[in-house]
Structure 1
Amino acid sequence: MSTTQHKLNNHSPIHKKGMSDNLEKIVTSMKNPLQFLQQPISNSTIVLQKVKILDTDISIEEGFSTIINQLSAPVFDKKEGKFIGIIDLKHFLSYILYKLPFPPTGEYVSSSIKEMDLFPFHTLDKKSSILQLLKYFDSGVHRAFILNENKQIEMISQLDILKWFKDNSQEFGELKNKDVLSLDRSYNLHSFSKVHSINQCEPVFKALQDIQKYKIYGMPVVDDKNTIVGNISIHDIKYASENLDRLALPLNMYIKEKPPVTCEKTTTLAELFNIFLNHRIHRVHLVESGKPIGIITITDIISMIYNYTISNSDNKSSSIQM
């Protein structure tokens, strides 16, 4: 084939169409960032988990034993014939602190799950978009409940959605290579406000009291030099579920098998995906010279991706109702 023929072929209608298609894809991608989030949950590879539903007539002890394993559950009232809310470990914190044997440190709580201040009950269905799912998580819940084709409730955890993000990391383009500092400045990933920390010599129940007081899920554990040495979270209650006396232990004994998981301002979004998934954790401590300066949670990541997509979309009024 001659050089002239080769050039003519490059300008053929078919070649022009290919160029036009590629340009259209680029423009569409620019106008609709993270467009892949518009697909329905049913079309994704996100794994849905089975759910145990709690009845309001069971004891708090029974409810607690379920939540220790499942971490969150819908609550059903048989008398009213409807779901009345969602419960997670945080709802049992006052109960645990009150039940401590040396002496009680929490406020009295009713023995009825129904009288707890539950999260509002809400479900999506498998036709809902991933973007709607992100909005669900952006409200602060750690697990989303999905109604399947058989009208049964299934569950998606924050780690489930994060794994899906990682599996589809190519869809994030340059965003996945942004570091923590630029994500914070550009997309409000996390506000580096005061970090609530606790000394490793304090008892575990003191950390739980602070978690309840500050309405958080966890905090860094530090030594006398304010260097981070570990993490304590509300989920760590499970290690004392059969013996509450363990909550009187100093933190450095209670968390000794749990080294701290940290990141720095140079850590990228893609690296954060790996950190969360490899360690099966929900928060990473942002450090500078070993000192905690912030906390990044999976909720922060999901919220950033959701708000980035909405704020950069041409069609900001698109249907994202839950």
Structure 2
Amino acid sequence: MSATDKKSQSNYGMRKCSSEKIITMKNPLHFLLQPISTSTLELQKVQILDTNISIEDGFNVIIDQLSAPVYDSKKEKFIGICDLKHFLSYILYKLPFPPTGDYVESSITDMELFPFTILDKKSSVLQLLKYFDTGVHRAFILNEKKQIEMITQLSILKWFKDNAHEFGDMKNKDIISLDRTYNLHSFSKVHSILDTEPVFKAFQLIQKYKIYGMPIVNDKNQIVGNISIHDLKYASSNLDKLSLPLKMYVEERPPITCDKSTKLSELFNIFLNNQIHRVHLVEGGKPIGIITITDIISMIYNHTLSSNPDNKSSSIQM
């Protein structure tokens, strides 16, 4: 074989290798295009809130379910979705010490509900991720019997973990690499609160900043705990607990953290083992960022779109 032939063969091999790499990288998450019905995603039963229900009874449902579609029986249609955040002003208004001062909603219909969106089981998982990319924590699915079921962010994450082999090298990337290569939004502004502040102050800040949780820090700005809107559940039967200093309220729950070297596969385990929606990114014990399940879903969803430009218009319409 001549030198020219060898060079030509070598170049062909390089092109072939390069082509194979492009093919591999073009569609690394093709499994997301499968319908929800054929996936192993866990669906849960849902209790629907009627607009006639009282705020108190609605809150009791949300404590257990965390989110629910709201149905107006007079109009015979769904009018929105509510979660714990919608009941925060109700809780603050009921407190026996100076609350926000805002008027509390008197009924479910007075709340600024999330828009009602429903997918069916024929929708692709990619369409489901598009919906979660908007920041919601739960999606409602219409099954074959015309019943509404629910898929949570944690269910999505478990499905990701069970299919970790589909991620290739992504699952082995640390947070720095994920942020640089896949735009993981982990270094957003951190709103923290001192552990000497009362619990209700944390909830006031959560409402003010329109967030779901924040780290609790000591006087050296070292993270010692976490407070989230889900903690409303623990105070629902005794609002006096909300006057306690945060260090007493969360003393039995150590903070869940990660650092810049934490890998995506490790983040899966942290979220799932602790059944949480956010992990605090720390450096030297001090919070420097927050990683949420929404961040991970958004990263994977948007990476899938950029890897599959042909599917942008045809595969993700809801």
Q: Please, what TM-score do these two structures have when normalized by structure 2?
A: 0.92
**Corresponding residue number in structure 2 for 1:272:** 267
Residue 320, structure 1, aligned to residue 294, structure 2: no
SS at match of 1:109: coil
Distance in 1, matches of 2:315 and 2:109, equals 33
Q: Which residue of 1 aligns with 2:12?
A: none
2:276 to 275, 281, 285: 281
Q: Kindly indicate whether the alpha-carbon contact (under 8 Å) linking 1:31 and 1:314 is maintained by their aligned counterparts in 2.
A: no
1:301 to 291, 296, 300: 296
**1:24 Cα deviation from its structure 2 partner:** 9.6
Name the residue aligned to 1:69: 64
Output the CA distance in 2 between the equivalents of 1:102 and 1:116: 23
**Cα distance in 1 for residues equivalent to 2:19 and 2:40:** 27
Task: Letter of the 1:321 partner, please give it.
Answer: Q
Q: Distance in 1 between matches of 2:222 and 2:167?
A: 34
Task: For residue 105 of structure 1, report the CA deviation from its aligned partner.
Answer: 3.1
Comparing 85-94 with 26-35, which one deviates more in the overlay? Answer: 26-35
The answer to whether the Cα contact below 8 Å between 2:215 and 2:227 also exists between their aligned partners in 1 is yes
- Which aligned runs of 4 or more in structure 1 are off by greater than 6 angstroms? 23-26
1:32 touches 1:314 (CA, 8 Å); kept in 2? no
- Structure 2 CA distance for aligned equivalents of residues 51 and 271 of structure 1: 30
1:82 to 65, 77, 82: 77
The answer to whether residue 94 in structure 2 is matched with residue 99 in structure 1 is yes
Taking the aligned partners of 2:175 and 2:194, their CA distance within structure 1 comes to 26
Match of 1:247 among 242, 265, 281: 242
How far apart, CA to CA, are the structure 1 residues paired with 2:134 and 2:124?
16
Unaligned segments of structure 1, at least 5 residues: 1-22
Does structure 2 conserve the Cα–Cα contact (< 8 Å) formed by 1:94 and 1:106? Answer: no
Asked if structure 2 preserves the Cα contact closer than 8 Å seen for 1:33 and 1:313, the reply is no
Tell me the alpha carbon deviations over residues 164-196 of structure 1, each in whole angstroms, 9 at most, x when there is no partner: 000000000001111111111222211513310
Number of residue pairs matched by the alignment: 301
Secondary structure class of the residue paired with 2:290: strand
TM-score by length of 1: 0.91
Task: Name the CA distance, whole Å, in 2 between partners of 1:125 and 1:290.
Answer: 44
| Map of 2:136 onto structure 1 | 141
Q: CA 1:24–1:53 in structure 2 vs 1: closer, same or farther (change >3 Å)?
A: farther
Which of 163, 172, 191 aligns to 1:168? It is 163
The counterpart of 2:182, out of the listed 178, 184, 187, is 187
Matched-pair contact (CA < 8 Å) for 2:188–2:290? no
Matches of 2:207 and 2:99, distance apart in 1: 15
